[in-house]
Amino acid sequence: MTQLIRQGLNGSKPQQRMWRVHDMKDSYDVVIIGGGAHGLAAAYYLAKHHGITNVAVLEKRYIGHGGSGRNTTIIRSNYLTPEGVLFYDESVKLYQELSQDLNFNVMFSQRGHLTLAHTDSAVRTMRWRAEVNQLQGVDSRLVYPDELAKICPQLDLSDHPRYPIMGALFHPPGGIIRHDAVVWGYARGADERGVHIHQMTEVTGIDVQQGKVAGVQTDRGYIKTGVVLNATAGWCTLIADMAGVRLPITTHPLQACVSEPLKPFLDVVIVSGSLHVYVSQSDRGELVMGASVDPYQSYSMDSTLDFMEGLSGHVLELLPMLSKVKILRQWAGVCDMTPDYSPVMGLTPVEGFLVDVGWGTWGFKASPVSGKRMAEMIATNKTPDLIAPFRLSRFYEDALVGEKGAASVGH
Amino acid sequence: MAVNTPLTATSGRIAETPSQTINRREVVKFTFNGNQYTAYEGDTIASALAAAGVDVFSRSFKYHRPRGLMCATGNCPNCLVQIGDEPNVRACVTPVESQMKVEPQNVFPSLGADLMSMTQMIGRFLPAGFYYKTFIHPRQMWPVYERMLRTAAGLGKVDEESHPGYFDKIYKHADVTIVGGGPAGLKAAQTAAKIGARVLLLEEQPALGGHLRQSTELINGQPAYEYAAALAAEVSQLANVDVMTNTGAFGRYDHNWLGASSGNRLVKVRTGALVVATGAYEIPPLFENNDLPGVMLGSAVSRLIHLWGVRPGKYAVVVSANRRGLQTALDMVKAGVHVSALAEMRAEPDADLIDQLRAHNVEIFTGWTVAEAQGSSHINGVTLRNLTTGATRNFYCDLLVLSTAFLPANGLIYQAGGRFTWSDTLNEFVPAALPDDVFAAGEVSATHTLAEIEREGELAGLQAALAAGLGSEQDRQRADTLAVEVEQHREARQAWSAYGLIQADAKKDFVCFCEDVTRKDVRSTLEEGYDSMELLKRYSTVSMGPCQGKMCNMTAMHVCAHYTGKGIAETGTTTSRPPVTPLSFGALGGRIMEPVRHTPMHEWHVAHGAKVMNAGLWKRPLHYGHPTQEVHAVREHVGLIDVSTLGKLHLHGKDVPALLERMYTNRWQKLNVGQVRYGVMVNEEGIITDDGVTARLSDDFYYMTTTSEGAAAVYEYIEWWLQSGWNFDVHVLNATDLRAAMNLAGPQSCQVLQKITQGVDLSNEAFPYMGAREGTIAGVPALFMRIGFTGELSYEVHVPSGYGLRVWEALIEAGAEFGISPFGVEAQRVLRLEKGHVIVGQDTDGLTNPFEANMDWVVKLDKDNFLGKPSLMMANKAGAQKLLVGFEMPDGTLPEEANQIVRPGSGPIGLEIIGRITSVRRSPTLNKVIGLCWLPTSMSAPGTTFTVRVKGELKTGKVVPLPFYDADGAKLRL
Amino acid sequence: MILLTCPNCGARNVSEFRYGGETNKRPDVNTATPHDWAEYLYMRRNPNGMIREWWYHRAGCGSWFIAERHTKTHDIIATYLWSPEAAK
């Protein structure tokens, strides 16, 4: 509030920059590739928790240009595996304090999250998630249509839809957030502690000598460093290729769209696994919507008409009163999809080259915990227990962490 | 301030002229803001209201400032209204309909007196992005603050009772599609059609003609609107030109796939080549109070006067930077508006028009622009400023007309991957590089004079048709010649756009009208480090409102370039995204047709009381009223279940056994004719993907069944292996829909079958368990397989699907004396559970291999080559860490599927998860709770007890051997 | 809507097809090391540029074929049925 008052009284005096522009040094202790929420959070926690400030964050375009600025802003921890739930729960807890920590309002709104079930097997999966959540101390429970009608009266709970709603996983701590604000808040926090954020700086090569990282080549010069963190999400295999590291990742577009601004209408976040659609209403009044990734590999961030058509049909099945509401804008980002829908975090066969990738469509909500734990890993040289399940080597150890949910096939 | 409410349609009208599109003989009544108004047929809501003297149409999003008509073209947010259950309607492009009830939006409490406008008083403390800097402490108050923000946000309202309307979709195919039916588009259509292209011409307005419709400028002695109408008529009559008006193209997608919106229709177009002739948006300049009602764009005034016969005001001042502005001023004078002054930004404006204006006593200021508008809820004065000396002049006015700049409507070109460069001479973006199959012509490519617009249109049509594969060598040469001409003319173009003033002390000079973002907001945003267009947009929200940058992008870039010291070229733009104009969920969803699959016996099930469930796309009976009785019937007498949904594949060829050896984990080389075998399929990770039985019916004909939901996937998977290098002599036919199937199960099943089967010896010796025979049933050719998912003597009968119902009914009739009961999916679940059979995807999941699922017996690791072999070898070597086992609940508790098995541990509530229940039922046959669950291998021995969490309470379960019922399998072999 | 040319049927909307992923050479199951096998199962090239991938004409002729496509622009360079030469 004082910031505002000061700004209001200052009138025409220039404002202070959120993050400064620095010349690029020729060496840093740690180079983080990727200026999204994950990379900036890692930089922030390196500085804040571990006093490691000789850090550069290299961002090809402007900070938050990638998934951090394109996602549909949903935060939750109602995952399926115990490892996943614990991990995302730590993230939610960090998000709860983040506005205060960063002194920047990230507008985290824990308004409740519903994952609708339209089949028997989906109900079973929701119960599975509810039970695992509760056993990890996370608030989720299975609800049926009578209670759903009270939580979200706008839902069509009749048997008119092709796949009527049979129940839902209700997760009260889930909600939405102002995604750009998380990027900006972390950037400022890192910057004020001495981290150098270099925007419009593209990495063109990674220098590996005898199996160890020696430096990073950029379009603005070479940086000597012994620690590189790959936090580039959809582009991560392009960076990993530079270091000679293979990743179990394919890049797919994920599309999203917003409606024109409307008076408050929808209080909770709605997700339907069967209909592959999610919708929430932002604090600006727009309905923010998304679906599942495009099936083919692509680095295109263009959106398609089929996406809007499919999404509209499904949204209308859930909320039939929206037929006259209009879609204002559609876009896409690129997602690094893994075989088990869990991330890839930690060491690689190249010493000093760490990854925080494999974030698919589940990355933004994990920004704080990933940043914190990757910073911890870099600073202590030990893999934190919380992220050990997500190691790259698990693909060679047949130890996948299955977050795709139970497959469903019936006779 | 109160809103004027004269009630007649005539008070603000000028005399009738041929360009007008209203029919003064047809009067339409409607209401706005609770007041009655009349309109003429052909009026838009806005033109009717303007004629009636209404000047405030809405309140702005943040400061609730009164807003009036500015563009009258559908590009700005000022006239957004609510009509019944439809929010955010653009009044200026929506035709009036009788009895329409139009309401303002986002007003508190009313349009005339909006208390929220008081926020302007603390405006300095509410700059762009203010919410990031406040509402942080105390944390607990955030939900309260947030509720306030949310209530203030948003424009129109959703009516929760709104019923889905009727919407539909149309497909179009064309060689050349032209978006925009103005002079450039019409010329393009002409030339493309002449070469023989199939042309589709899309025009978002109700009539062709573009900006010429609202112009009286003489073209070869003819008023522009007449010239345009004649050209339009000529083009419309061409046989190979398909014209769609009221159809706005909103998106260009991969490979020239276009989306367009036409009323309640979504139009989807695949076109060989695309011509974008969409014109340009006229945009307002920056100056203090540039958002006051009575401040209008020149094109708005032209449309009001020439299309709807509305006098836009009484005392006007005009600001111009191009010929069209001067023409508009002249039109205004002729329409009876008193134009006291005209500020012309160019040093050397068109002398012919200047002279005419002077002759009408308009005071001309050359080299001047507008600095400030005065007024509170309507403009009542304007300050003009000399661009060089800074001298000012004030004028009274109730109408300020701005014709100073254009932003090409190039969204579709950007979406197509086209690139633009900034021209400092023209002050507009010009196309630099377009894809091979996309062309631009006219004002969209910064060309504003008619002769050049038409020449570009002609060229674009020619080039587009050639790109689509039509035309001759002569046409190609003509295109090359014309291209040179066009280029020469483009180089000689003059600027039609100029910038507004950047005044450091201005407080309410709006860059973005949708979001109330001022120049000061932009400056402070840039200063804080959000100094690229993207960050500027996201922080200040400029261009994020309903207009999506149409009115503000150029100004925002200009201001950004100014304060960062970079040029516009380096500043760049934000990403142009579809839809160019918003369109409804309804139109995008269309008729929402979802496929449903029925078996041939579906109606029978429904007629006999089936509770129908979804099973993938299929409808299946869950039960017929009493699933427990159905279970008893099968165990004690006989039951019949419809399993037509099973996947069924015909496999022909000498290499089928080799194929089966590869696809399944077990052995298949020695399956004899007349034998059936159960098989499990895994993927290359060794994970179970499907199961089923395969029968050998002749030397080289095998019949494979799969799970219902796996049918398509198994077929595709087999085909992939066959088509990607396995040199197998195998032909596969997906016969899933060709055969109906039903399973007759129970001790008396053979007796039932006996009555209506011919050609098969049903004795136990001749037709043992796991045998397959062909014969006829009720006269219908059939395949019989003696298999046992339910654990009873049973026969699965497969017949051509056309005879499915007949055979079903025959079996029901034959079984009547034995007390036959149809049984559904629920009873089947119970029956198979009593036998300990696994359901793939329920008892197994995306990580389960056969060893864990207690199916070691089905994996033959010594086979040479089969899918998943290395993974299974490794899994076998490592040993299963967890196993699927049978259990009972000694205390009779009925758990739920997915309940977690736990033990004390370090988890947040002191419990660690070690397994889960995947299937559980109270068995009617055995009168106890039975189920399948996952446990660590160390706890898998029968007799081991475990703790399971049921509805929050800890209960005890006990591992027991499988199966629960008929351990020897004697029932199967009766 | 990508326009994909089925070698059998010609140019069709991509919605008629199912994606089959990158072409991926299957190691010899009897000589592959666990490392080789894991690479085959999980590691991918994921190029930003030309990709060789499988498509299945699900709503058409049922052919599986290989496409060479640019993963940024979606330009389809070639589509062809599998052959021993194509696999190299």
The pLDDT, as a whole number, for residue B11 is 57
Within 206-245 of A, beta carbons closer than 8 Å to B belong to none
User: Domains of chain B: which residue ranges?
Assistant: 23-118, 168-281+408-491, 284-377+390-404, 510-587, 604-833, 877-974
Give A398's pLDDT tier (boundaries 50, 70, 90). Answer: confident
Q: CB distance from A285 to chain B under 8 Å?
A: yes
| Cβ-contact B654, B729 below 8 angstroms | yes
Task: Name residues whose C-beta falls within 8 Å of residue A115's C-beta, 6 or more positions apart in sequence.
Answer: A78, A126, A129, A168, A169, A171, A271, A272, A273
From CA A266, how far away is CA A258, in angstroms rounded? 14
From residue B599, alpha-carbon distances to A162, A361, B630, B642, B643 in Å are 17, 37, 20, 8, 9
The one-letter amino acid code at A207 reads: D
Verify whether the Cβ–Cβ distance A410 to B841 is below 8 Å: yes
DSSP labels, B367-408: TEEEEEEE-SSS--EEEEEETTT--EEEEE-SEEEEE--EEE
Q: Mean pLDDT across the stretch C49-78? A: 97
Can you give the pLDDT at residue B6?
41
Is A292 in CB contact (< 8 Å) with chain C? no
Domain ranges of chain C: 3-23+30-81
**A192-203 pLDDT per residue, tens:** 999 999 999 999
Say what the pLDDT of residue A19 is. 96
Cβ–Cβ under 8 Å, residues B329 and B413 = no
What kind of fold does domain A113-172 have according to CATH? D-Amino Acid Oxidase; Chain A, domain 2 (3.30.9)
Q: How far is CA B502 from CA A349, B55, B513, B888, in A?
A: 56, 28, 17, 80
CATH class assigned to B877-974:
mainly beta
Read off the pLDDT band of A407 (50, 70, 90): very low
Write down the pLDDT at residue B9: 43
Indicate yes or no: CB of C82 within 8 angstroms of CB of B725: yes
Q: Does A408 reach chain B within 8 Å, measured CB to CB?
A: yes
- CB–CB contact B254 C1 (8 Å): yes
By the CB < 8 Å criterion, does A16 face chain C? no
Structure confidence at residue A87 (pLDDT): 96
Q: Which residues of B touch A327 (CB under 8 A)?
A: 579, 582-585, 588
Q: Which chain B residues have any C-beta within 8 angstroms of a chain C C-beta?
A: 253-255, 257, 268, 270, 417, 684-685, 716, 719-720, 723-725, 864-866, 869-871, 874
Q: Which among B387, B444, B451 is positioned nearest to B414, based on CA atoms? A: B444
* Phi and psi torsions of B604, nearest 5°: -60, -45
Please give the CATH superfamily to which domain B168-281+408-491 belongs: FAD/NAD(P)-binding domain (3.50.50.60)
Residues of B numbered 61-100 whose beta carbons fall under 8 angstroms of chain A's beta carbons: which are they? 61, 85-88
**Which residues of B are less than 8 Å from A184 in CB distance?**
132, 530, 539
How far is residue B220's CA from residue B271's CA, in Å, rounded to a whole number? 35
DSSP helix, strand, coil percent of chain A (3-state; round to 5): 35, 25, 45
* Domain ranges in chain A with CATH number 3.30.9.10: 113-172, 250-337
Rounded to whole angstroms, the maximal C-alpha distance in chain C is 43
Q: What is the pLDDT of residue C88?
A: 60
pLDDT digits 0-9 by tens, B3-24: 444 444 445 999 999 999 999 9
pLDDT for residue B4: 45
Interface contact B716-C32, CB threshold 8 A: no
Q: What are the mean pLDDT values of chain B's consecutive 10-residue runs (974 residues total)?
A: 42 91 97 96 97 94 95 96 96 97 92 87 86 92 93 94 93 98 98 98 97 95 96 98 98 98 97 98 97 97 97 96 97 96 97 97 98 96 97 97 97 97 96 97 98 98 98 97 97 95 95 96 96 96 96 97 94 94 96 94 98 96 98 98 98 97 97 97 96 97 96 96 94 97 97 97 96 98 94 97 98 98 98 96 93 95 96 95 97 97 91 97 97 98 98 97 92 83
Q: For C8-32, what is each residue's pLDDT tens digit? A: 999 999 999 999 999 999 999 999 9
Partner C, chain A 305-344, Cβ-Cβ below 8 Å: 305-306, 339
Convert the pLDDT of each residue in A311-357 to its tens digit: 999 999 999 999 999 999 999 999 999 999 999 999 999 999 999 99
**Which residues on chain C are in Cβ contact (under 8 Å) with B682?**
none
Q: Mark yes or no for CB contact A306/C42 under 8 Å.
A: no
Domain B604-833 in CATH 3.30.1360.120: yes
Q: Cβ distance C54 to C20 under 8 Å?
A: yes
**Start and end residues for every CATH 3.50.50.60 domain found in chain A:** 25-108+174-246+339-411
| Touching subunits for chain A (3+ Cβ pairs under 8 A) | B, C
CATH of C3-23+30-81, one of 3.40.30.10, 3.30.9.10, 3.40.1260.10, 3.30.2270.10: 3.30.2270.10
Subunits that touch chain C (at least 3 Cβ pairs < 8 angstroms)?
A, B
Burial (CB count <10 Å: 0-12, 13-18, 19+), residue B218: exposed
Does C21 contact A250 at a Cβ distance shorter than 8 Å? Answer: yes
Give the model's confidence band at A9: pLDDT under 50 very low, under 70 low, under 90 confident, else very high: confident
Contacts of residue A300 in chain C, CB cutoff 8 Å? 71-74
For A395, which residue in chain C has the nearest alpha carbon?
Answer: C38
Residue of B684, B725, B874 with shortest CB distance to C87:
B725
B864, B866, B871: residue with CB nearest C37:
B871
Tell me the CATH number for domain B284-377+390-404: 3.50.50.60
- Alpha helices in A106-178, H assignment, sequence order: 120-135, 145-151
pLDDT at position B618 is: 97
Degrees, nearest 5: CA angle B238-B239-B242: 85
| CA nearest neighbour of C38 among B439, A305, B350, B870 | B870
Distance from CA of A263 to the nearest CA of B (A): 4
CATH code for A25-108+174-246+339-411? 3.50.50.60
Residue of B130, B167, B585, B848 to mutate, interface with A, max A Cβ within 10 Å: B585
- The minimum CA-CA distance between C18 and chain A, rounded to whole Å, is 8
Q: What is the DSSP string of A78-91?
A: --SSHHHHHHHHHH
Residue in chain A nearest C2 by alpha carbon: A304
C41 contacts B720? CB cut-off 8 A = no
Predicted pLDDT of residue A15? 78
B23-118 and B510-587: identical CATH topology: no
**How many helices and strands in chain A, by DSSP H and E?**
9, 19
CA pair distance B304, B298, nearest whole angstrom: 10
Asked if A298 has any chain C CB less than 8 Å from its own CB, the reply is yes
Tell me whether residues B575 and A320 touch, CB distance under 8 A. Answer: no
Return the ∠ at Cα B704 (arms to B698 and B709), rounded to 5°. 165
- Classify burial at B598, counting beta carbons within 10 Å of its beta carbon; exposed 0-12, middle 13-18, buried 19 or more: middle
Interface membership of A295 toward B (CB under 8 Å): no
Distance of residue C86 Cα from the nearest chain B Cα, in angstroms: 10
Sort out which chain A residues have CB atoms less than 8 A from B712's CB and list them: none
Neighbours of B140 (CB within 10 A): 7
Q: B51's torsion region: left (phi>0), alpha (psi -120 to 50) or beta?
A: alpha
Does CATH place domain B23-118 in 3.90.1170.50?
Answer: no
- Identify the three-state secondary structure at position A137: coil
Nearest CA in chain B to C82: B724
Which chain B residues are Cβ-neighbours of A304 within 8 angstroms?
Answer: 253-254
Kindly indicate the confidence band of residue A405, based on its pLDDT and cuts at 50, 70 and 90.
low
Contact flag A263-B846 (C-beta cutoff 8 Å): no
Question: To which H or E segment does residue B363 belong?
Answer: strand B363-366
- Interface check A409 vs B, CB under 8 A: yes
B855: number of Cβ within 10 Å: 20
What pLDDT does A410 receive? Answer: 22
Neighbours of B956 (CB within 10 A): 12
Mutation for C interface: B720, B723, B861, B876, most C CBs within 10 A: B723
| CATH class label, B510-587 | mainly alpha
Q: Which residues of A touch B529 (CB under 8 A)?
A: 17-20
Q: A156 burial class (0-12, 13-18, 19+ CB within 10 angstroms)?
A: middle
Element (H, E) at B521: helix B519-527
Nearest chain A Cα distance for residue C83, angstroms:
23
How far does A221 lie from chain C, in Å, by closest CA? 23
Task: Give me the CATH topology for the region A250-337.
Answer: D-Amino Acid Oxidase; Chain A, domain 2 (3.30.9)
Chain A CA closest to residue C46? A250
- Residue B951, judged by CB atoms within 10 A of its CB (0-12, 13-18, 19+), counts as exposed
Give this complex's ipTM.
Answer: 0.97
